[in-house]
Amino acid sequence: MATIKMASYQKIALSIAQDIVDGKYAVGEKLSGRSTLASRYKVSSETIRKAMAVLQDVQVVSIKPSSGICIQSALKAKAFLEQYTSAHSIKELRNDLLEWMQRQKQEADAMRSTMRKLLDMTERQEAISPFTPFTFKLLASMNHIGQTSSDLQFWQVTGATIIAILRGDEMLLSPGPYAEFLEGDLLYFIGPKESYERVKNLFVN
């Protein structure tokens, strides 16, 4: 059965932002190096790099080769947390759906219900086109396996927006620009009808 979870780097970014808001880190203070943070959170240095990239994108931290990772703004950290808090009710609906799927123990019906929830969510977001999602499966022989949406400038190149990635038995919703494309991933994306061929050309040609 598919389960919905937040990526590790997103959890770490939120944890550090919360620490800044709580006053554990002061503006201008230098964070520990990647290896120290990786040891603290028990993740890889690459996961820490992605978490820091998220915080840098929203101007919570600054990253400079000479001075490392520095706290840039507590206000931006608070705004970053509020952005995720505003989506809490949607996450609760997802959890309710997952509990229902567990009780029913019907894989096919559960997956269809998850997709219906995805479609309902996209209709409520003005920034997302209400098209039925396209799907595209990544094979080992394809290009760009191991790279991220940000690396490939996915939206700029294809005009498509990824709304979910089915990875094994896990459904990752709104994976963001730093999620890696891995062998076996099934991408769900929306966009104009020509976006499917653009996605195909990106990974195949």
Count of CB atoms situated within 10 Å of the CB of 53: 17
Domain boundary among 40, 67, 85: 85
Whether 49 and 139 map to the same domain: the answer is no
Whether 26 and 103 map to the same domain: the answer is no
The pLDDT tens digits of the residues spanning 20-55 come to 999 999 999 998 888 888 888 888 999 999 999 999
Whether 102 and 189 map to the same domain: the answer is yes
Whether 78 and 131 map to the same domain: the answer is no
CATH number at residue 182: 3.30.70.1450
Look at the chain and report how many structural domains it folds into: 2
The pLDDT tens digits of the residues spanning 47-63 come to 999 999 999 999 999 99
Rounded to an integer, what distance in angstroms lies between the CA atom of residue 74 and that of residue 17?
Answer: 8
Measuring CA to CA, how many Å separate 38 from each of 8, 23, 34, 150, 187?
A: 11, 21, 6, 22, 29
Any idea which residue has 């230098």 for tokens? 30
Domain boundary among 53, 85, 117: 85
Say if residues 188 and 133 touch (Cβ distance below 8 Å): yes
Whether 49 and 97 map to the same domain: the answer is no
The pLDDT tens digits of the residues spanning 189-201 come to 998 889 999 999 9
Whether 78 and 109 map to the same domain: the answer is no
Whether 70 and 114 map to the same domain: the answer is no
Whether 106 and 124 map to the same domain: the answer is yes
Whether 169 and 127 map to the same domain: the answer is yes
Domain boundary among 59, 85, 111: 85
Whether 120 and 79 map to the same domain: the answer is no
pLDDT grade, residue 111 (50/70/90)? confident
pLDDT of residue 100: 58
Residues in the chain: 205
Structure tokens at 183: 């062998």
CATH number at residue 42: 1.10.10.10
One-letter amino acid of 41: Y
pLDDT grade, residue 119 (50/70/90)? confident
Q: SS3 string of the chain?
A: CCEECCCHHHHHHHHHHHHHHCCCCCCCCECCCHHHHHHHHCCCHHHHHHHHHHHHHCCCEEEECCCEEEECCHHHHHHHHHHHHCCHHHHHHHHHHHHHHHHHCCHHHHHHHHHHHHHHHHHCCCCCCCCCCEEEECCCCCCCCCCEHHHHCHHHHHCCEEEEEEECCEEEECCCCCCECCCCCEEEEECCCCHHHHHHHHHHC
Rounded to an integer, what distance in angstroms lies between the CA atom of residue 33 and that of residue 93?
Answer: 37
The pLDDT tens digits of the residues spanning 77-110 come to 999 988 877 665 566 666 765 675 666 566 666 7
Whether 66 and 96 map to the same domain: the answer is no
Q: Which residue range is the domain that position 177 belongs to?
A: 88-204
pLDDT of residue 2: 47
- pTM comes to 0.44
Whether 99 and 198 map to the same domain: the answer is yes
Say if residues 146 and 182 touch (Cβ distance below 8 Å): yes
Residue 3 has pLDDT above 50, yes or no: no
Strand partners, 61: 71
